[in-house]
Amino acid sequence: MTFDILTLFPAMFASPMGESILGKAVDRGLIQVRAHNLRNWAAGRHQVTDDAPYGGGDGMVMKVDPVVGALRDLRAAVPGAKVVLLTPQGRTFSQQDAAALAAEQGLVFICGRYEGFDERIRAFVDVEYSIGDFILTGGELAAMVMIDAIARLVPGVLGCEGSAAGDSFSDGLLEYPQYTRPAEFEGMKVPEVLLSGNHGEIARWRRRRQLERTAQRRPDLLDAAPLSKEDRCFLASLQSGPGAELNKK
């Protein structure tokens, strides 16, 4: 899978995309991450990519012609690549979006800068995303976040194919608590069920802890999560007062 990034600061991507899991995936040829300097498509000796907004106002606006020229070249290099515009006005990026985008042949990210971008750029993109209700200096960090979330779902990137399946949000819920050695630390013990070897009980315990933690921390997720009858009964038990499952290990 290819990730192409249009940015004024391509050097920002060298270290994050060359380390850890992503770096190994690049080395193994599972993904390609290519940061392109938008100035290469800008006209004139000074390669200007921004200009003052029509109608007046503060700041500068990203020009349409360098962006569209770059998109046409990149789409020719990777036919079928989906173009992603990073903007606070886009829909909020989710784990479900990451899974859908991981099935694409290639993605092109447009990283905005300045006060904004020429509205006509929108006619040349496929989807707009935001990573949250806050403002960044540019779209580069948002692109890195999305690439990390998407790339780890590309087959082979994580090595263990089941690793991503248990992540928070993968099934609409937060992840269950995790433990490793030692079995006891400063009086805090690992729940006995995890030491039992009973995989059915372990799975049941983990599911209930997912439901419990989600109800406590992100109850909004429960509305859209796929819940079984047993799940719903357990959630109802969390409201039953003293002695409820909420307080059980």
Burial track 170-186 (b if 16+ CB lie within 10 A, e otherwise): ebbbbbbeeeeeeeeee
105's CB contacts (< 8 A; 6+ apart) are: 1, 2, 78, 79, 80, 81
Report yes or no: 116 and 89 within 8 Å, Cβ to Cβ: no
Instruction: Sheet containing 32-37: give its strands across.
Output: 32-37, 2-7, 106-111, 82-92, 127-130
Residue 132 marked in a binding site: yes
Rounded Cα gap, residues 138 and 243, in angstroms: 50
pLDDT in tens, 40-81: 999 999 999 999 999 999 999 999 999 999 999 999 999 999
User: Where in the sequence numbering do the catalytic residues fall?
Assistant: 88, 115, 152, 167
Q: Where are the beta strands (DSSP E) in the chain?
A: 2-7, 32-37, 50-51, 61-62, 82-92, 106-111, 116-117, 127-130, 184-185, 188-189
Confidence tier at 239 by pLDDT (50, 70, 90): confident
Q: What is the dihedral of CA 83, 87, 88, 92, to 10 degrees?
A: 20
pLDDT of res. 161: 61
Instruction: Classify 178 in phi/psi space as left (phi over 0), alpha (psi -120 to 50) or beta.
Output: beta
User: Position 181: which residue type?
Assistant: R
Whether residue 5 is annotated as binding a ligand: the answer is no
Residues across the chain: 249
Q: What percent of the chain has pLDDT over 90?
A: 88
The answer to whether 154 touches 31, Cβ cutoff 8 Å, is yes
Pair 224, 172: CB distance under 8 Å: yes
pTM across the whole model: 0.87
Over the stretch 29-38, which tens digit does the pLDDT of each residue have? 999 999 999 9
Say what the pLDDT of residue 115 is.
83
Complete domains list, the chain, with CATH = 2-151 (3.40.1280.10), 171-247 (1.10.1270.20)
Contacts of residue 93, defined as CB under 8 A and 6 or more positions apart, other chains included, come to 129, 130, 131, 145, 146, 149
Is residue 134 part of an annotated ligand binding site?
yes
**DSSP H or E segment with residue 23:** helix 20-27
- Report the alpha-carbon distance of residue 53 to residue 40 in Å, rounded: 22
How much is the pLDDT for 123?
A: 98
Confidence of residue 163 (pLDDT cuts 50, 70, 90): low
Query: Any residues with CB less than 8 A from the CB of 184 and at least 6 apart, and which?
Result: 190
Alpha carbons 63 and 50: distance in angstroms, whole number: 5
Q: Give percent of the chain above pLDDT 70.
A: 93
What token pair was written down for 126?
A: 């496929």
